[in-house]
Structure 1
Amino acid sequence: MTTPIWDPAQYLRHAGHRARAFADLLARIPALPAEPPAGRPRIADLGCGPGNVTALLAARWPAAHITGYDNSPEMLDKAHVDHAGATADGGRLDFAEADARTWTPEEPCDLIVSNATLQWVPGHADRFADWIAALKPGGTFAFQVPDNIDAPLHVLMRELAATPRWKSRLAEVLRHTDSVHTPGAYLDRLARLGCATDVWQTTYFHVLQGEDPVLDWVKGTGLRPALTALGDEPEVRDTFVTEYRDLLREAYPTAPYGTVLPFRRLFAVAVKGE
């Protein structure tokens, strides 16, 4: 899988729809060990992107020290400009470069959260033990990931990339079908680490507006590896995108009220034992 170059502006074009899942995850996170007035929580947001949902953590825990981590310079620049600084109740929101494949907290955390990131990290479940170990007793590890690698937008992308015209350039570029595990596999892994674990799935039916909105959506996320791999050849890249666009138009027809994008996500909240 190619490491994608991210475009914060493209990603944020559907920020409202994308943030719904994080809000649902946030609603299931319990009180943290260092809740005010007893203390100031230490929170890590792993894969913070442009920081728009990291700011939601500051709204819930305004006294916390929150650090958003990402390995995309483009995303971190946007996060710094838009969201870094003091928070409402004497807390702080900052951002730092880190790679989820190797990142380990430098100090004990009350909460480690990850939003739509772990699907990009091969072997991510093997990192859970280190992250749980870094939590304070009673701390929480929570994440959500897209769970729709079998949806048309991904299937058509992979099928097109595997055709003779594109195979040599793109066959090994895109996310693999095993990039996300089953809900039961996540529950078992986290429970065996001594956590009280809640795992669930939700399918959102996003009603998107505009011309080719599903293509516009996926340009901000799942299509990024292909766009990156073909980035040095704009005409070739545009040809691939046009072919993919035509497939999406058939798979996601437009209705008078917009284009419906069913999107399943997987959630997990794991609370470390006292």
Structure 2
Amino acid sequence: MTARTADWDPSHYLRFSDERSRPFVDLLARVPGTPRTVLDLGVGPGHLVAALHARWPDAVVTGVDSSPAMVEQARAEHGDDAEFVLADLADYVPDGVPDLVVSNAALQWVPGHLDVLARWRDLLAAADDGAGRALAVQVPGNQDAPSHVLLRELAAAPSYARWTEGTARPHVHRAEEYLDVLAQPGWTVDAWETTYLHVLQGADAVFTWISATGARPVLAALPDDVRPAFVAEYKARLRAAYPERAYGTVLPFRRAFVVATRD
């Protein structure tokens, strides 16, 4: 059975934009060389194209996303800086082979994305001038955090399970698993994990964060007359797990990174 998804809300996603953007900047800092062409898989609303151009001002960027709302906003606000394509990340095939394939917080929504990474690895390796081509990926690794555990438990409760069963769930692997896929002969791979301590401002800040991302499919699946009760109970559980402090609410967030470069 195919997992049920819902389209993204760009304005909601861009809340806490600085915190969401930081891992992408950290990822780019570890990519060597000067790519001329960059393919961004899961480009979202296009706001991070500026980070690519800050790193490589002359690079030609193509952004791909499966969300019509995200691509529409990216084209409207950043269309002069990149080309944006509406396509499924799992099977997208570009016209040519880019120097750099990058993906930030997107592949967790692609079932079997280790196979997708292997396909991109092979595509880059097959290029006649493949030396120096690179693949750089960052994915959230917090599926065992209270935010996600509480979401799964509540969604499975008898009051909600009839609607939430089959909704899409993000899936990630440990950094060493990405290393294992990409560390083939002829490749140099840098893989690591980082836990950020985001200090979020505002009431129910963790709910605001996750409702734009990991909880989005569950919330969209609930009927309008049922969703408010779910939200109220979920917020209460999140407040207990992530108490607000005088300076804000701390959200520990683990992420996995990998940069693979063709020798």
Same fold at TM > 0.5: yes
Find the counterpart in structure 1 of residue 47 from structure 2.
Answer: 52
Unpaired runs of 5+ residues, structure 2, are 125-129
Query: 1:238: how far off?
Result: 1.8
Unpaired runs of 5+ residues, structure 1, are 35-40, 87-92
1:126 to 80, 104, 115: 115
Find the counterpart in structure 1 of residue 7 from structure 2.
Answer: 5
Higher strand fraction (1 or 2): 1
* Amino acid of the structure 1 residue aligned with 2:25: A
Alignment of 1:26-41 (within 5 A): 26-32=28-34, 34=35, 41=36
Q: Does 1:65 align with 2:60?
A: yes
Within 2, Cα distance between the matches of 1:99 and 1:193?
Answer: 29
The answer (yes or no) to whether the contact 1:17–1:206 under 8 Å persists in 2 is yes
Report the number of matched residues: 256
Find the counterpart in structure 2 of residue 146 from structure 1.
Answer: 140
Cα 1:64–1:161 change in 2 (3 A) is same
Q: TM-score, normalised by structure 1?
A: 0.90
Within 2, Cα distance between the matches of 1:207 and 1:139?
Answer: 36
| Superposed CA RMSD | 1.4
Q: Does 1:242 align with 2:244?
A: no
Within 1, Cα distance between the matches of 2:168 and 2:38?
Answer: 31
Find the counterpart in structure 2 of residue 15 from structure 1.
Answer: 17
Query: 1:157: how far off?
Result: 0.0
State the secondary structure of the residue aligned to 1:85.
Answer: coil
Within 1, Cα distance between the matches of 2:136 and 2:107?
Answer: 11
Within 1, Cα distance between the matches of 2:176 and 2:56?
Answer: 30
Q: Does 1:265 align with 2:255?
A: yes
Within 2, Cα distance between the matches of 1:262 and 1:150?
Answer: 11
The answer (yes or no) to whether the contact 1:104–1:130 under 8 Å persists in 2 is no
State the secondary structure of the residue aligned to 2:131.
Answer: strand
Query: 1:159: how far off?
Result: 0.4
State the secondary structure of the residue aligned to 2:157.
Answer: coil
Deviations 1:188-221 (A, max 9, x none): 1101364211110000000001110000001110
* Amino acid of the structure 2 residue aligned with 1:54: V
Query: 1:64: how far off?
Result: 1.5
The answer (yes or no) to whether the contact 2:5–2:168 under 8 Å persists in 1 is no
* Amino acid of the structure 1 residue aligned with 2:84: F
Query: 1:127: how far off?
Result: 1.4
Query: 1:168: how far off?
Result: 1.6
Deviations 1:252-272 (A, max 9, x none): 001111100000000000002
Q: TM-score, normalised by structure 2?
A: 0.93
* Amino acid of the structure 1 residue aligned with 2:144: D
Alignment of 1:1-274 (within 5 A): 1-32=3-34, 34=35, 41-86=36-81, 93-135=82-124, 136-175=130-169, 179-192=171-184, 194-230=186-222, 233-273=223-263
Stretches (4+) displaced over 3 A: none
Query: 1:222: how far off?
Result: 0.5
The answer (yes or no) to whether the contact 1:199–1:267 under 8 Å persists in 2 is yes
The answer (yes or no) to whether the contact 1:84–1:94 under 8 Å persists in 2 is yes
Within 2, Cα distance between the matches of 1:142 and 1:193?
Answer: 17
